[in-house]
Amino acid sequence: MSKPTRPPRPQAVLTVESSEWVSPTTVRIVAGGEGFAALSLNDFTDAYVKLLFVRPELGLTPPYDEAHLREHLAPEDQPVRRTYTLRWVDRERQQVAIDFVVHGDEGVAAPWARSARPGDQFVVSGGGGGYAPDPTADWHLFIGDESALPAIAAALEALPGEARGLAYLQVTDDSGRIGLEAPDGIRLQWLTGGAHQTALLADAVAAGPWPDGRVQVFAHGERESMKAVRALLKERAVPREDLSLSGYWAYGRTEDRFQAEKREPIGQILV
């Protein structure tokens, strides 16, 4: 008995409208066009989508027939998916913004973003997320690296003006810092260190203040770093319902391998 065929994922074909370097290592792509209507949008501040890339030398025009490509393309030419947070969504203008961290020529998505120009098209599918700031929390705690900055930035902007809290933000070096808008009651602490320094965020939180009252936590970033953060939050008895925590990526892994490891013990963060 053959397995049922999975229906193709709906594809939104977006057109690049502008690009801007918001830091020496972060380029923001603003895109829209007719494909905006096909996006699956939500109101979470960590809303994310899947970007689908094919090798440009193949000369293919989106949308793509993925089933056909899987059957007829060589393994090295197969499309690849990469997950990115929507930095912001403007429904009136029918635009979205996506921030790409660019370190050299590594990866698939970042080199594309670095050279993207108005008029270029790319494919987005899916839509997810699960966090938005709870205005009833006594204080907020944000923990993340460069991969989590778009979601944290969106959350900070969504906080009420009287919100209190702490944000611990790890970047490889000072070039990774971006401008952030946050209520006066949110203290930002930038930490400098490579992804191999997996204890950096947890150690900073452990050494910092811990205000009284109910805290809502958003903690996302490199997988081993998040495991260390989770261990600390268990010690602080943060309830599961007040915690949004996951690994966005894993040091030394491609995204394809990282996604596969989510089903293995090494890839699981027990929350």
- CATH label of the domain that carries residue 61: 2.40.30.10
Q: Are residues 69 and 147 in the same domain?
A: no
**DSSP annotation of 250:** -
The whole domain housing 204 covers 139-267
Listed in sequence order, the residues at least 6 apart from 247 whose beta carbon sits closer than 8 Å to its beta carbon are: 220, 221, 222, 223, 224, 225, 226, 227, 258, 267, 269
Q: Is residue 75 part of a domain?
A: yes
Helix intervals (H) in 97-254: 109-115, 149-158, 200-207, 223-235
Dig out the tokens for 255 from the structure: 């995204």
Q: Is residue 117 part of a domain?
A: yes
Q: Are residues 192 and 89 in the same domain?
A: no
CATH code of the domain covering residue 245: 3.40.50.80
Q: Are residues 72 and 156 in the same domain?
A: no
Last residue of a domain, one of 71, 101, 128: 128
Q: pLDDT for 163-184, tens place per residue? A: 999 999 999 999 899 999 999 9
Q: Are residues 36 and 59 in the same domain?
A: yes
SS3 126: strand
Which contiguous run of DSSP H or E holds residue 66? helix 66-72
Q: Are residues 110 and 182 in the same domain?
A: no
Residue 220 CB-density burial (10 A; 0-12 exposed, 13-18 middle, 19+ buried) = buried
- Cα 161 versus chain centre, distance: 25
Nearest to 45 by CA among 127, 179, 205, 156: 156
- How many other CB atoms are there within 10 angstroms of residue 6's CB atom? 7
pTM: 0.89
SS3 201: helix
| pLDDT for 60 | 87
Nearest to 129 by CA among 85, 175, 93: 85
Last residue of a domain, one of 128, 161, 191: 128
| pLDDT for 66 | 87
Residue 225 CB-density burial (10 A; 0-12 exposed, 13-18 middle, 19+ buried) = buried
Q: Is residue 133 part of a domain?
A: no
| pLDDT for 1 | 47
- How many other CB atoms are there within 10 angstroms of residue 201's CB atom? 26
Q: Are residues 165 and 91 in the same domain?
A: no
| pLDDT for 269 | 58
CA atoms of 106 and 207, how far apart (whole Å): 34
Q: Is residue 256 part of a domain?
A: yes
Q: How many domains does the chain have?
A: 2
Q: Are residues 117 and 191 in the same domain?
A: no
Last residue of a domain, one of 95, 128, 161: 128
| pLDDT for 5 | 53
Spans of the chain, pLDDT less than 70: 1-8, 252-271
Q: How do 95-101 and 121-128 pair as beta strands?
A: unpaired
Q: How do 26-32 and 95-101 pair as beta strands?
A: antiparallel
Q: Is residue 99 part of a domain?
A: yes
Nearest to 191 by CA among 180, 181, 199, 183: 199
Q: Is residue 191 part of a domain?
A: yes
Nearest to 158 by CA among 43, 11, 260, 235: 43
Q: Is residue 41 part of a domain?
A: yes
Q: Are residues 144 and 109 in the same domain?
A: no
Q: Is residue 5 part of a domain?
A: no
